[in-house]
């Protein structure tokens, strides 16, 4: 078969064993933090009815979705691969609302699929690490702080340098826009979402296109340029107003920042420019930058959604979530040579000099495994050179060569391989 | 949206958080054993060119495969979801042969997809746990014993009762059939593969259909009825013959059993009826039954394949593998109420009696997490009843109620929840 037929597909690139070990370290670290915070794992199916998957989404997702053509005799038309972890969770909750303990704290670490243009760090098959807290009815704002604390904890443990978590609130912003008398608040928010990517001139042009007057534009620019800590936020008297939605958002933002202080999360700042693109966010919104590499974009974002399950259930389910695009982050760090140097688990390789020592090696390996060691035994035989060459590349950290003397009782000597 | 639109698809059934915790225990246990034996993880893509996926397979797989219709503007026609973990591994090796350390010991724990009829325990989306050892060129038969030792270790640690690993050898059987002068040895092996499912009469009828004479049928029946330990195998003088292939298979089988004895694997017996259906096996073949539940079928099977990468590379790669169909086994054990009682990780739930105690709870949670505890904090407020009802269902093993007295210094009391 021609090599091009089985070469990796663009956007579906396998990791080498060395890369995989490092990727799994990060994935396991994220899972450990999720569990340490009391989140419970779900590993939901990858395939759904297309119609149900796209219930909420717009045209972009529709174009990017991987559809399933056929499976088995009874067909599988109308199915597609999930493009995120949130929509499957919403369906799961709608299907199981009577049997779940609320607030439901869910950890999902899994793959999703988007047929988007492959570019720097972005693959078509990628891991996301999500946590969500979902209540039947009202969810306390304290949980907004909990998911933000989760992202802070993950990056502290990863040790890849300082991060900044910028927190905004869509209710505060929406109320502010209402108080300016603007009708198309969703349109204005979409422009604000692009504020960092375009020039000030372009930004003003786009506001104007939506019918926003110069005076209002100036007020919006002032608002979204606010970035600071809770004391600065509270001290900014101009950040007040009697719009009810604005007041609610302001109270939520203050509550979240107070809770974060109580949790010792110093990475968080208020940044009123943060709106997150997705429509389903309603209150708290946040994103996270790696201070040393802001160019890789957000390394953990999310927010509050008050009606995510709305497409599937009449009951209101309030929730808040965090998503980390682990594949993209891993690829960016790998490319930049900045993957964290987490200690790899030790693995010892036993090398029998002659076939006569294999049995002793097997017994030794069983003893070491009983002490929770990871043990490989080189069983190919042949010259020692080959075994040592294997040792250097096999991921083992130490090797023990076992000859007649060792079988006779000579203490085993561990040679460090790297 | 109508409930039927987002209800789980047949063959794609999500686990509840409680089931998922138990499934993950088994999955983690398998991964731990894989790593303890020096296998390195790979987490290969799920999507490939259909043509490459089906290079080796026949009509059945072709019908069961899930094809991808379209993804992104440039289309994704001609793609499909993997139906096992072995074919993707063969492609990966062919694509990376220059950069890998051989023998390559690979652990894969991941999902595959088959559009087959959904039945008892079998899903369309399922986890397999595979280990494979692949050499560039010759692979020592000692590795055949290693993968068998792997399945024994996994079930010992799982503690679901005794298992029996039945080991055969396709070379021995093939050589035997050659020595009987039979031409269609593959056809005869396919009939032998069904021997346990059909009556003796039916079996003889099917052999006859292939042109096997009565005398030869009797000899085949005698051979495949052999089941015993190594001493019994060696003592059976009629299990000899000068056919070269037979002799090679016999030597391999003896070597594997000797190595298993050296490894203390007492679960293994020789059973010459074992051939495994798949064509790509060439030497050692084995399958595993749970002694108390033989009706659930093999809980770990595999064997030696001497040319698996043949469709993708001109170089010969010998290998041996083991596959455990974890989803099917989990579902069978779950249904029978026989899931192993592995200790679940402890999780403590902190419950503030009043909002005033939330801050103290958050500080306590940080201290406990710093000691590697898993800690949930109930942040919804409201009546204590609701919190206690949540506690019972949230997966926490203990709860600590924190009121004014605890904040003032009263020692924290852990209440056991289950």
Is the pLDDT at A294 greater than 70, yes or no? yes
> Is-contact A349 A343, C-beta < 8 A?
no
Q: At what angle do helices A170-179 and A244-262 cross, to 10 degrees?
A: 150
Do B390 and A44 count as a contact with CB atoms less than 8 A apart? Answer: no
Rama region for A376: left / alpha / beta (φ>0; ψ in -120 to 50; rest) = beta
Rounded distance, CA A162 to CA A176, Å?
32
Is the pLDDT at B71 greater than 60, yes or no? no
Rounded distance, CA B235 to CA A165, Å?
73
Do A259 and B94 count as a contact with CB atoms less than 8 A apart? Answer: no
Q: In chain A, which residues have their Cβ closer than 8 Å to the Cβ of B138?
A: 380
Q: Of B150, B82, B157, which Cα lies nearest the Cα of B301?
A: B150
Is the pLDDT at B76 greater than 70, yes or no? no
Q: Give per-residue pLDDT as tens, A57-108.
A: 666 777 789 998 754 444 456 899 999 999 999 999 999 998 999 999 999 9
Q: Give per-residue pLDDT as tens, B189-242.
A: 999 999 989 999 999 999 999 999 999 999 999 999 999 999 999 999 888 788
Do A23 and B16 count as a contact with CB atoms less than 8 A apart? Answer: no
The H or E element spanning position B33 is helix B17-36
Q: In chain A, which residues have their Cβ closer than 8 Å to the Cβ of B388?
A: none
Size of interface A-B (CB pairs under 8 A): 290
Quote ipTM for the complex.
0.94
Instruction: Name the minimum distance, in Å, from the CA of A127 to any CA of chain B.
Output: 11
Whether pTM > 0.90 for this model: the answer is yes
> Which range among A289-293, B234-238, B408-412 shows the weakest confidence by mean pLDDT?
B234-238
> Is-contact A80 A105, C-beta < 8 A?
no
Choose from A46, A83, A380 for mutation: most chain B CBs within 10 A.
A380
Nearest-by-Cβ selection for A362 from B23, B101, B263: B263
Nearest-by-Cβ selection for A125 from B45, B73, B358: B45
- What is the pLDDT at residue B55? 82
Rounded distance, CA B304 to CA B90, Å?
14
Sign for the pseudo-dihedral over CA of A200, A204, A210, A212: positive
Contacts of B299 (CB under 8 A, 6+ apart): B155, B163, B288, B289, B290, B324, B325, B329
Q: Of B315, B323, B312, which Cα lies nearest the Cα of B285?
A: B323
Choose from A41, A142, A148 for mutation: most chain B CBs within 10 A.
A142
Instruction: Output the furthest CA–CA distance in chain A (Å, rounded).
Output: 91
Q: In chain B, which residues have their Cβ closer than 8 Å to the Cβ of A66?
A: 47, 68-71, 76
With tokens 């490989």, the residue in question is A376
> Which range among A171-175, A375-379, B307-311, B387-391 shows the weakest confidence by mean pLDDT?
B307-311
């Amino acid at each position: 078969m021609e090599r091009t037929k089985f070469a990796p597909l663009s956007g579906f690139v396998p990791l080498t064993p060395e890369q995989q070990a490092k990727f799994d370290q990060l994935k396991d670290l994220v899972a450990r933090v999720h569990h340490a915070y009391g989140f419970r794992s779900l590993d939901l199916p990858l395939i759904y009815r297309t119609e149900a998957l796209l219930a909420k989404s717009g045209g972009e997702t529709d174009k990017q979705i991987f559809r399933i053509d056929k499976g088995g005799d009874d067909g599988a038309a109308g199915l597609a691969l999930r493009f995120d972890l949130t929509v499957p969770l919403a369906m799961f909750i709608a299907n199981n609302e009577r049997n779940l303990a609320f607030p439901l704290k869910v950890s999902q670490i899994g793959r999703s699929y988007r047929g988007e243009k492959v570019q720097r760090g972005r693959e078509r098959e990628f891991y996301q690490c999500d946590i969500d807290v979902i209540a039947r009815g009202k969810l306390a704002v304290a949980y907004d702080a909990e998911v933000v604390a989760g992202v802070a904890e993950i990056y502290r443990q990863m040790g890849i340098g300082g991060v900044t978590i910028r927190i905004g609130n869509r209710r505060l912003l929406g109320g502010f826009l209402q108080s300016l008398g603007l009708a198309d608040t969703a349109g204005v928010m979409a422009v604000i979402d692009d504020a960092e990517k375009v020039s000030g001139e372009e930004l003003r042009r786009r506001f104007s296109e939506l019918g926003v007057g110069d005076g209002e534009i100036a007020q919006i620019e002032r608002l979204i340029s606010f970035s600071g800590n809770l004391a600065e936020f509270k001290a900014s008297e101009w950040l007040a107003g009697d719009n009810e939605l604005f007041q609610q958002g302001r109270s939520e933002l203050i509550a979240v920042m107070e809770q974060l202080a109580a949790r010792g999360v110093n990475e968080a700042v208020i940044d009123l420019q943060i709106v997150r693109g997705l429509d389903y966010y309603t209150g708290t919104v946040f994103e996270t930058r790696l201070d040393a590499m802001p160019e890789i974009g957000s390394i953990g974002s999310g927010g509050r959604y008050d009606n995510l399950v709305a497409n599937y259930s009449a009951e209101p389910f309030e929730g808040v979530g965090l998503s980390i695009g682990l594949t993209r982050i891993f690829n960016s760090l790998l490319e930049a040579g900045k993957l964290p140097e987490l200690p790899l688990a030790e693995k010892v390789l036993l090398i029998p000099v002659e076939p006569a020592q294999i049995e002793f090696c097997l017994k030794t390996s069983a003893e070491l495994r009983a002490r929770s060691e990871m043990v490989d035994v080189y069983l190919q035989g042949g010259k020692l050179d080959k075994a040592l060459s294997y040792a250097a590349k096999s991921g083992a950290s130490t090797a023990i060569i076992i000859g007649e003397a060792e079988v006779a009782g000579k203490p085993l000597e561990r040679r460090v391989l790297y």
